[in-house]
Structure 1
Amino acid sequence: MFSVLISVYRKEKPEFLKESLQSVFSQTLPADEVILVEDGPLTNELDSVINEFEQKESTLKVVKLPQNMGLGSALNEGLKFCKNEYVARMDSDDICFPERFEKQISYLKSHPDIDVIGSWTKEFYLDNQGNKVITSLKRFPHSIWENFKYCTKRCPVEHPSVIFKKKSVIDAGGYQHCYLFEDYHLWARMFVNGAKFYNIQEPLLYFRMSDESFKRRGGYKYAINEYHALKTFKKIGFLTNKEFYFALITRFPVRIMPNCIRKIIYTKFLRKK
């Protein structure tokens, strides 16, 4: 028994949302409820996609927020409606492998001490003909508990690939305001709380990429928000002073460099072809 938690807002493309929901409702192990949070009023096109799935999928439950609250707040609201202890995250533009939930839930059943389980992801974009082009494989270490140094340098799990224990998330304070870093902020607090993480060593999610994806990871605004996030990590004991300054020195130049160079760094050095 597990829930799926998704948030969507008006700037999402309806065709992406449709493909994402299709992958969720085509699993070899289906969820007994899918909580879809509408983060503020949507477009008519997005409403049409959601209405289509509401009519044919009885497990879909839609939570409507009167105004846009941002991802962290929207997920907190949706979490209140999840009745199960295990909650699978999913983004409204990514695509699950058909066996994703079955493999993750199977591992969790045999390893009840795990609080968060993620997987590797395949990053992709659509070409001019609408074909899926795989650009790289994003890998994560299996046991984050045994690879603490990794998660002080990089986010330890891919947010839309995880299934987590609802209680462990709530005990860590849930999603909190940390603009652009809501997920990493949550993982850091959970880690300090003693939560255990694991990544299945194979891809179970297609993660959508574009040039905009790399642009969103740069610029002075992003750099300043990352600085505040790292400062919070140091304050709660997730980072030492040395790790804090090392993160600043290695990350800040990447954030302010031209997008074309940042894209090369991500695709050539931080990913596996």
Structure 2
Amino acid sequence: MAFERVLGLVSVMIPCYNSSSYILETLNNIAAQTYPNLEIIIVNDGSTDNTVEKIHLWLQSPEIQTRFVSTQRFQLHSLPYNVGYAGANTIGLFLAKGEFIAIHDSDDLSHPERIQKQVDFMRTHEDIGLVGTNFAEFWSNNPKVKYVPKWIQYGHEQIKGKYDIGSGGACYGSLLFRGIVFDETGGLIRNLPWKKAIVGHDKLFIKRCVKQGFRIDNIPEVLYYYRLHETQMSGRGSTRKKGEQTDG
């Protein structure tokens, strides 16, 4: 990249499309993170609802104005038409200035200490390029009941082995990675053959990072909450039958 990354800054990248029902809850959730040094990047992927109006409303809060707007730590970029999940993600990644980049889907939630714990992990594991977390799924109409899938893996070799055989071992939405990972690997691939697109642009991004030599691990705590609802992007299906139920 042509610019020098801002040390200590975490760029939280949020692609969104017709997310008006959830975007305010997600933004408030990110603002409540205990890690203080954040920037928020939203790529509005041609939404046809009032997502953008909801975001502008959120920005009117004096606290948000002081913390994100006046410090130029908030970016909202609206695309003229829908380019798709992979394209919106990659645009957001190009705009990130932080030493670290955190992925966050526009309808999901994170534990308040998620980013702090991931940054602490990276500080004490300098060989790791990407770190995810365990996660739980919840239906939007029943948020207190959550299901923890069992396919998340731990340790670089174990995770790498899963991607080597075409499976998965990390939740893309829970990832935090060093900016250099994107600088050297690039973003999500848009024009995939049909069969590879079914596998998932996000899974192939992780696989490519690992193949290029970046080490990955997961924090075993449930720090990311994956919302299930009827209008979510195709492919974001439930895996709750493979998981265990937890309350809270």
Give TM-score scaled by structure 2 length.
Answer: 0.80
Pair 1:16-2:25 in alignment: no
Pick the structure with more helix per residue.
1
Pair 1:50-2:55 in alignment: yes
Structure-to-structure mapping, 1:127-138, within 5 angstroms:
127=141, 131-138=142-149
- Contact 1:124/1:133 (CA < 8 Å) preserved in 2? yes
Pair 1:167-2:180 in alignment: yes
- Which secondary structure state, in structure 1, belongs to the residue aligned with residue 153 of structure 2? coil
* Structure 2 unmatched ranges of 5 or more: 1-8
Of 23, 26, 37 in structure 1, the residue corresponding to residue 32 of structure 2 is 26
- Which secondary structure state, in structure 2, belongs to the residue aligned with residue 36 of structure 1? strand
Q: Give, in angstroms, the shift of residue 41 of structure 1.
A: 4.2
- Contact 2:159/2:170 (CA < 8 Å) preserved in 1? no
Q: Distance in 2 between matches of 1:54 and 1:211?
A: 28
Counterpart position of 1:256: none
Of 114, 117, 120 in structure 2, the residue corresponding to residue 100 of structure 1 is 114
Q: Give, in angstroms, the shift of residue 213 of structure 1.
A: 6.8
Gap change, CA 1:154 and 1:133, over 3 Å in 2: farther
Question: Percent sequence identity over matched residues?
Answer: 27
Q: Give, in angstroms, the shift of residue 204 of structure 1.
A: 0.3
Q: Give, in angstroms, the shift of residue 211 of structure 1.
A: 6.2
Pick the structure with more strand per residue.
2
Give TM-score scaled by structure 1 length.
Answer: 0.73
- Contact 1:121/1:206 (CA < 8 Å) preserved in 2? yes
Of 228, 234, 244 in structure 2, the residue corresponding to residue 209 of structure 1 is 228
1:25 counterpart letter in structure 2: A
Of 93, 113, 116 in structure 1, the residue corresponding to residue 130 of structure 2 is 116
1:138 counterpart letter in structure 2: P
- Contact 1:144/1:156 (CA < 8 Å) preserved in 2? no
Structure-to-structure mapping, 1:151-190, within 5 angstroms:
151=163, 152-177=165-190, 178=192, 179-180=197-198, 181-190=200-209
* Total equivalences in the alignment: 220
Counterpart position of 1:267: 240
Counterpart position of 2:5: none
1:68 counterpart letter in structure 2: N
Of 37, 42, 57 in structure 2, the residue corresponding to residue 36 of structure 1 is 42
1:5 counterpart letter in structure 2: M
Deviation string 1:189-236 (CA, Å, 9 cap, x unpaired) is 111111111100110011112467797468xxxxxxxxxxxxxxxxxx
Larger Rg: 1
Q: Which has the higher contact order (CA 8 A, sep 6+)?
A: 2
Pair 1:145-2:154 in alignment: no
Counterpart position of 1:90: 104
Q: Distance in 1 between matches of 2:87 and 2:56?
A: 24
- Which secondary structure state, in structure 1, belongs to the residue aligned with residue 243 of structure 2? coil
Q: Distance in 1 between matches of 2:174 and 2:36?
A: 15
- Contact 2:13/2:40 (CA < 8 Å) preserved in 1? yes
Q: Give, in angstroms, the shift of residue 94 of structure 1.
A: 0.3
1:111 counterpart letter in structure 2: H
Q: Distance in 1 between matches of 2:236 and 2:89?
A: 21
